[in-house]
Amino acid sequence: MQAAEQVVLVSDDGTPIGVAPKATVHDGATPLHLAFSCHVFDGEGRVLVTRRALAKSTWPGVWTNSFCGHPGPGEAMEDAVVRRASFELGIRTDRIALTLPDFRYRAVDGSGIVENEICPVYRADLAGDLRPNPDEVVETRWVHTSALRTAIDAAPWAFSPWLVLQARELY
């Protein structure tokens, strides 16, 4: 039997202070924890945006960055990025680079579930074919960053709150 996925709880300054099961940590009083976001680019300079699966507990069906995740206790962040790229999108990534090391946010979904994360943002280049996990991703699009920024500015409600904030800093 596989152990339940754990997330790393952190203090306000980012110091690890414990762990909690991922399945139970996200609720109306989600403690601050460590996560990451990644923006994947293709050979034409376009970024991959994904639409979250409709069964997701938070922001279902909303467009977001390429993928997100949580490093496990003791797991290097870059290793977590590689692991999650494979799990969510069925891809390998090249040239993983940290782009927003100090990104953090708190957002409340319409259901009342809180996201409360210290969430460094990475960019990576696509290596291999895209094979999205339907439990995570319902749709994908490759877009130029200028078009993504225009869409976010026109309809921010159609995108995850973390992508809206990240895109304003990145693009």
**Angle subtended at Cα 57 by Cα 169 and Cα 24, rounded to the nearest 5 degrees:** 100
Selected catalytic residue, list 38, 117, 119, 136:
117
Which pair of tokens denotes residue 94? 């090249």
Q: What is the dihedral of CA 52, 58, 59, 60, to 10 degrees?
A: 50
- List the binding residues for Mn(2+): 26, 33, 70, 115, 117
Selected catalytic residue, list 68, 78, 136, 139:
68
**Angle subtended at Cα 136 by Cα 134 and Cα 141, rounded to the nearest 5 degrees:** 80
DSSP character at residue 159: B
Give 151's contacts (C-beta < 8 A, 6+ positions apart). 143, 158, 159
- List the binding residues for Mg(2+): 88
Active-site residue 169, yes or no? Answer: no
Active-site residue 68, yes or no? Answer: yes
Start-to-end CA distance of the chain, whole Å, equals 43
Residue in the structure block whose two tokens are 């909303």 = 62
Residues serving a catalytic function are: 68, 117
